[in-house]
Structure 1
Amino acid sequence: MKTKILISFLVAYLLFAGSTWSQSKIIKKQTPVKAVVETPKEIQNTKPEAPEQYQLRLIMENDAFGGFSDQYYTNGSRLEFHMSAGESNPTRKIFSYWNDLFITPTEKTRYLQGFAVGQEFYTPTNITKADVSYGDRPYSSRGYFSNSLTTFTEDTSITTELELGMIGPSVGGKSAQINFHNFIGSPTPQGWDTQIPDSYSAALKTDIRKFYHRFFGTQYNLNLGNIQTDVSFGLIFRFGNVDKTPGPGSSALQPGSPILHEEGNGYWYFYVNPGGTLQAYNATIQGQMGTDKAYKSQNRSSAFSNWDSFLNNPTPDVGERELQYRILSEDNGRNTLQRYILFNEFLVNGTNNPYNIGLNYLLFNNIFNGAEEIERTTRLFLLSNLAAQWDQIPDNARALAIYSIFRPEGGKLPPIVRYYSYEVLSQFILDPKQREALLQLLREEVEYRDEKTYIADLKRAVGFVRAGFVSVSNAGFLFGIHYNYQTIDFQSAKGLPQQHQWIGFQLGKVF
């Protein structure tokens, strides 16, 4: 449609110009001086229109690209389409009121309207557990569609984006990551059924990049919405064959401006971008606003806090047992061995527990270790151990053991399996009163977990460093590769990594 309008405009303009040229010849013959001096006002006031521009850009990020640990922000992708925005463009009319607060428009100011679709996936440090680990980042995924306006001059770009989307299982994070991991031969993620539930999202984002020298600039980013509300600031140092053009953004998390390019004027540069973010809200960590279906392992009032109410005669020994149960339950994804030693000392040795390591490990794994996926070699060892003691194992324990070793991948451990695990574990280790108390506590705990979604506390200040290479050819081909280092954005349990790294790349073309 725009092409037809442009052709019609050009035809009309040529006819008008031809008519004017003929008139000027007649005038020149009659009054030579005035013919040179007097030019129609329409021609004097006509500004050369910038040529129509269309472009595509793809950004992909994954911690697997750099061989880093599969955790936290694990994958992001974004596909964009941009086009020139004339004065009558609705997006330009609306967003330019805001963008023009940060820039003084001139004849050289250009505008690009953009459309984008994107997704982001987040996981805890240990994806082999079916439960959420204590003090870790929850599973979450979000997808979105956005409409944006980029206003830019020779040294500044302002991109404002309105984003609508969704967070939760409907985004498809579970199937996408499981299929990708199966394709590359990585462990199957087990805990996606615990992810933050569905809710709709809306956000308004602004990215400002200004270069005071071709090798130095600043970046500001503001996000307002019910998924993320934060503000960030960064410095950009770069070196290469480039003038003061801001260049394209780099990260799918903060995409910034699209390809800023003029025909026949390519550029390339290396850059380093240190900065920090102040967070006010992050739904991928804290869950949806106003929900009553969330809990935090590190500070909730759990069933274990009611231990004394189940016993008629509390003693110091009861408090010690409560503390030991708490420690067993505080799974941060990296302390399995320490907690299994505690389990073995507290609930196996010194009791009349008749089971060998095979069944006891499965009980520990189901109750206290997040139903972690059992590796092939460990599975073979447990099967061998169970076979040696098979005649002494009760029928319900046999069924429990077989299911626990060969259970389906990628889903929650059914509550009934936990109940059986509690029954088998407590059958021989406690006196009747303590046994009944333990069973009641554990049942309450699993019911509490089953109805709620784990969330984490927010870390307000987050630091980051980005570095990479960007190239835009004379013909408008974009290639970029980017390294990202970031401190974690949530309050973690002790022993968890306090930083994360990933690699991203972007490809694009201006038409």
Structure 2
Amino acid sequence: MREIRCAALGFSGALFFASATAAFAGEDRDLLPQDNGFVTLQVENDLFAHIANTDRHYTNGLQGSWLSSPREMPGWMGPLTKLPVPGRFEASTISHHRVGVSLGQAIFTPDDTETSTPVPDDRPYAGWLHLTFTLQTVYRTNSNSAMQDQWKLDLGVVGPAALGEQAQNNWHVLIGADEANGWDNQLENEPGVNLTLERAWRSDLFATPEVMGFETDFIPHGVLALGNVQTYAGLGGTLRFGPDLPDDFGPPRIYPGIGGSEWFHADSGFDWYLFAGVEGRAVARDIFLDGNTFRDSPSVDKKNFVADFKLGAVAVVGRARVSFTHILRTREFHGQDKPDQFGGITIGWAL
């Protein structure tokens, strides 16, 4: 349990650091009055999508995040906040810039966690512990159209230093489940650096009709990622359905599942909506399948095209937003017997 407590303290420390940074950074409070930033906790686990208590492939993700209130960016960051935009957004006003920081951990195992010997035809054991720094820019037009750009820089470690074994097995001891016995075969320690650019649109170009008196909208998104952990390009979109859809971009995911925003409007007493989406990715590198970059390690023959399908629901109650997402991920490597399924729970608070 010591490692779990350390991880919890790490999340708290990151959030405290981020809040302290906000207190001293220059902000433009006139952009969105009463907006003091957001704190988000996310957990993804295959248990949420299976009746049986099993661990398989991407078995757990945990992330705590802080996103700032709107603020002015220093001049040297101008190129990052002024990327080329479609013509309809050229005359728009940039509603706000935000910065954020997250602390996350992801755990991967083969399907057979009972054996202590390597499983050559299944994905290797791996842990990924990282800090993510975010720069977000939102463009708005005079209509209800908006576009969101997000730069994300991951700095972390893959391997035993990521504490995947300790987090999983100590949790299993706590709940009375069997321990995973093959962690001696996990990927070796390797520093991880990844840079990701995400763009999402909410535009009249993708207008959708009302259905049975409920509003609908469609939010497409794209992503480019480059690094020794994951290198890929992806496209996708999310369809939402509800009585009064907010003008945000939906709930976030622990990526490589993208789309969504950690910010949301918390000025209503209660709101809800349902959503469904898909994202396809062309994958050039995935360290959790390809193995370590600079040394020999367990690996599998990955597939270069992967898709996520998602269904979920969101409820906004006062200053809190809660979402549940069920994800089906197509086969990620040759020899994988079936797609993976897992669920995600996200809780956000407006500060």
- Regarding TM over 0.5, the answer is yes
Q: 1:5 offset after TM fit, Å?
A: 8.7
Q: 1:245 offset after TM fit, Å?
A: 3.0
Question: Would the aligned equivalents of 1:74 and 1:121 in 2 still touch at CA under 8 Å?
Answer: yes
Q: 1:290 offset after TM fit, Å?
A: 3.4
Secondary structure of 1:275's match?
strand
- Paired residue type of 1:232: G
What is the TM-score normalised by the length of structure 2? 0.79
Question: Would the aligned equivalents of 2:279 and 2:309 in 1 still touch at CA under 8 Å?
Answer: yes
Change (3 A) 1:178 1:77: same
Question: Would the aligned equivalents of 1:157 and 1:257 in 2 still touch at CA under 8 Å?
Answer: no
- Paired residue type of 1:217: I
Structure 2 counterpart of 1:377? none
Q: 1:263 offset after TM fit, Å?
A: 5.1
- Paired residue type of 1:142: W
- Paired residue type of 2:299: I
Map 1:46-57 to 2 at 5 A.
48-51=30-33, 52-57=35-40
Q: 1:244 offset after TM fit, Å?
A: 4.5
Structure 2 counterpart of 1:209? 200
Q: Residue 269 in 1 paired to residue 255 in 2?
A: no
Choose the corresponding residue for 2:322, options 476, 479, 484: 479
Map 1:122-161 to 2 at 5 A.
122-152=108-138, 153=140, 154-161=145-152
Map 1:7-406 to 2 at 5 A.
48-51=30-33, 52-67=35-50, 69-89=54-74, 93=78, 95-98=80-83, 101=85, 104=90, 106-107=92-93, 109-152=95-138, 153=140, 154-211=145-202, 212-213=206-207, 214-240=216-242, 241-262=244-265, 264-265=267-268, 267-291=271-295, 293=296
- Paired residue type of 1:50: L
Secondary structure of 2:48's match?
coil
Q: 1:92 offset after TM fit, Å?
A: 5.2
Secondary structure of 1:64's match?
helix
- Distance in 1 (CA, whole Å) between partners of 2:63 and 2:55 is 20
- Distance in 2 (CA, whole Å) between partners of 1:185 and 1:3 is 43
Question: Would the aligned equivalents of 1:222 and 1:232 in 2 still touch at CA under 8 Å?
Answer: yes
Q: Deviations over 1:287-322 (max 9, x none)?
A: 22232x2xxxxxxxxxxxxxxxxxxxxxxxxxxxxx
Secondary structure of 1:279's match?
strand
Q: 1:194 offset after TM fit, Å?
A: 0.4
Choose the corresponding residue for 2:343, options 479, 500, 503: 503
Change (3 A) 1:87 1:175: same
Instruction: Give the total of aligned pairs.
Output: 308
Question: Would the aligned equivalents of 2:309 and 2:328 in 1 still touch at CA under 8 Å?
Answer: yes
Q: Which has the higher helix share?
A: 1
Secondary structure of 1:277's match?
strand
Question: Would the aligned equivalents of 1:480 and 1:505 in 2 still touch at CA under 8 Å?
Answer: yes
- Paired residue type of 1:75: N
Structure 1 counterpart of 2:8? none
- Distance in 2 (CA, whole Å) between partners of 1:88 and 1:253 is 27
Secondary structure of 1:223's match?
strand
Q: Deviations over 1:427-486 (max 9, x none)?
A: xxxxxxxxxxxxxxxxxxxxxxxxxx321111111122011012234x431100110101
Q: 1:111 offset after TM fit, Å?
A: 1.6
Q: 1:90 offset after TM fit, Å?
A: 7.1
Q: Deviations over 1:93-124 (max 9, x none)?
A: 463134x5465473352221111111111000
Change (3 A) 1:490 1:84: same
Question: Would the aligned equivalents of 1:59 and 1:252 in 2 still touch at CA under 8 Å?
Answer: no
Change (3 A) 1:288 1:107: same
Greater RCO, 1 or 2 (C-alpha within 8 Å, sep 6+):
1
Structure 2 counterpart of 1:381? none
Unaligned runs of 5+ in 2: 1-20, 208-215
Q: 1:89 offset after TM fit, Å?
A: 4.3
- Distance in 1 (CA, whole Å) between partners of 2:347 and 2:271 is 15
- Distance in 2 (CA, whole Å) between partners of 1:2 and 1:454 is 42
What is the TM-score normalised by the length of structure 1? 0.56
- Distance in 2 (CA, whole Å) between partners of 1:185 and 1:286 is 33
- Distance in 2 (CA, whole Å) between partners of 1:271 and 1:3 is 35
- Distance in 1 (CA, whole Å) between partners of 2:26 and 2:228 is 41
- Distance in 2 (CA, whole Å) between partners of 1:2 and 1:260 is 15
Q: 1:53 offset after TM fit, Å?
A: 2.3
Question: Would the aligned equivalents of 2:314 and 2:323 in 1 still touch at CA under 8 Å?
Answer: yes
Secondary structure of 1:53's match?
coil
Q: 1:256 offset after TM fit, Å?
A: 4.3
- Paired residue type of 1:59: Q
Q: 1:168 offset after TM fit, Å?
A: 0.5
Secondary structure of 1:285's match?
helix
Larger radius of gyration: 1
Question: Would the aligned equivalents of 1:139 and 1:192 in 2 still touch at CA under 8 Å?
Answer: yes
Amino-acid identity (%): 23
Change (3 A) 1:128 1:104: farther
